[in-house]
């Protein structure tokens, strides 16, 4: 549980800095760039442990972790960075970290047969109820209605990427590794190397998408749909500190803790804890003068996090 709680704090810091990053450079560029230096840094950390981590690298497992990263960091985070400038860091994280819970729990039940207790299901419903209250259009009048619905759409795509790619697929790979007896379940060390392998998949997918977007715009410069996914007037100098912050707090340290937590807990339990991220984001968002949420939106966030606390308590009792 400690790893999941630490991940929540790191993801909150990453969300706020990612929102600031998109003010200066495009979302696709931001995601790809942070996935260049973050895995290199963590790879150096992983290699510093020497032969002790040799068992964490296996051809079959690497391919699966690579696919998991392509879905989570690739599809999921490209959508995430498109949602940030539309609806802000608070609403984006609220959608992603809370909606990914039932997505992950449902897929894990259908695919891996992992069940949740009745109390855990009730807590998950409470979480989603809080999200629904906080996302009511009339509670977000400072956002244009079109941008709100587009942002929610991107957020839902990101939630599926988070729930399936980062959550359920990782859990499946861990089960496969245990059966193959190739992955020693040393939480912290495994978290680092798994995070690196997943980031490499995300980096490859994001890079290919960026090249495809640029090639499309070169021949069709007036394309609004693709033009919204990337930009040519990137301001790298002011973006650099925020880019470093979101890269370290998110894909580097945050995902390491995330994979660490998934080693010992079902996805449907880990993700609700991380769903507390939107509440931690709120004071940062206010401090950055990004937005001032209404009381109803705050109450919705409190309800969602109340469900998270209940999930933690029910899990410990179970």
Three-state helix/strand/coil letters over the chain: CHHHHHHHHHHHHHHHHHHHHCCCCCHHHHHHHHHHHHHHHHHHHHHCCHHHHHHHCCHHHHHHHHHHHHHHHHHHHHHHHHHHHHHHHHHHHHHHHHHHHHHHHHHHHHHHCCCCCHHHHHHHHHHHHHHHHHCCHHHCCCCCHHHHHHHHHHHHHHHHHHHHHHHHHHHHHHHHHHHHCCCCCCHHHHHHHHHHHHHHHHHHHHHHHHHHHHHHHHHCCCCHHHHCCCCCCCCHHHHHHHHHHHHHHHHHHHHHHHHHHHHHCCHHHHHHHHCCHHHHHHHHHHHCCCCCCCHHHHHHHHHHHHHHHHHHHHHHHC
Number of domains in the chain: 1
Distance of alpha carbon 4 from alpha carbon 270, whole angstroms:
6
Domain assignment of residue 23, given as a range: 2-317
pLDDT at 152 exceeding the cut of 60: yes
pLDDT at 285 exceeding the cut of 60: yes
pLDDT at 23 exceeding the cut of 60: yes
Q: What value does the mean pLDDT of the chain take?
A: 79
Point out the least confidently predicted range of 5-14, 66-75, 155-164. 5-14
**Tens of pLDDT, residues 203-243:** 999 999 999 988 888 888 877 777 777 877 788 899 999 99
**Tens of pLDDT, residues 159-198:** 998 888 877 887 788 778 777 766 555 556 666 777 788 8
């Amino acid at each position: 549980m400690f790893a999941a709680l630490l991940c929540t704090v790191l993801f909150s810091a990453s969300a706020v800095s990612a929102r600031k990053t998109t003010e200066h450079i495009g979302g696709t560029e931001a995601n790809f760039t942070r996935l260049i230096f973050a895995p290199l840094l963590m790879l150096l950390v992983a290699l510093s442990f020497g032969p002790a981590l040799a068992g964490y690298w296996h051809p079959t497992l690497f391919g699966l972790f690579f696919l998991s990263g392509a879905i989570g960091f690739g599809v999921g985070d490209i959508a995430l960075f498109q949602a940030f400038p539309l609806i802000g860091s608070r609403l984006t994280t609220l959608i992603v970290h809370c909606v990914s819970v039932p997505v992950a729990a449902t897929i894990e039940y259908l695919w891996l047969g992992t069940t949740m207790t009745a109390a855990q299901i009730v807590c998950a419903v409470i979480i989603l109820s809080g999200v629904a209250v906080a996302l009511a259009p009339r509670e977000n009048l400072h956002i244009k209605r079109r941008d709100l619905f587009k942002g929610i759409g991107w957020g839902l795509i990101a939630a599926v990427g988070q729930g399936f790619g980062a959550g359920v697929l990782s859990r499946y790979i861990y089960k496969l590794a245990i059966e193959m007896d190739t992955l020693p379940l040393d939480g912290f060390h495994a978290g680092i190397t798994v995070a690196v392998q997943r980031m490499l998949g995300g980096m490859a997918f994001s890079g290919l998408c960026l090249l495809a977007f640029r090639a499309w715009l070169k021949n069709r410069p007036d394309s609004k749909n693709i033009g919204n996914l990337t930009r040519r007037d990137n301001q790298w100098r002011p973006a650099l500190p925020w880019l470093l912050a979101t890269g370290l707090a998110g894909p580097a340290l945050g995902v390491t803790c995330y994979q660490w937590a998934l080693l010992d807990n079902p996805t449907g339990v880990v993700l609700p804890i991380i769903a507390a991220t939107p509440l931690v984001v709120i004071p940062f968002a206010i401090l950055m003068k990004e937005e001032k949420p209404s009381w109803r939106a705050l109450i919705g966030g409190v309800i969602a996090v109340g469900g998270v606390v209940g999930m933690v308590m029910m899990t410990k009792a179970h």
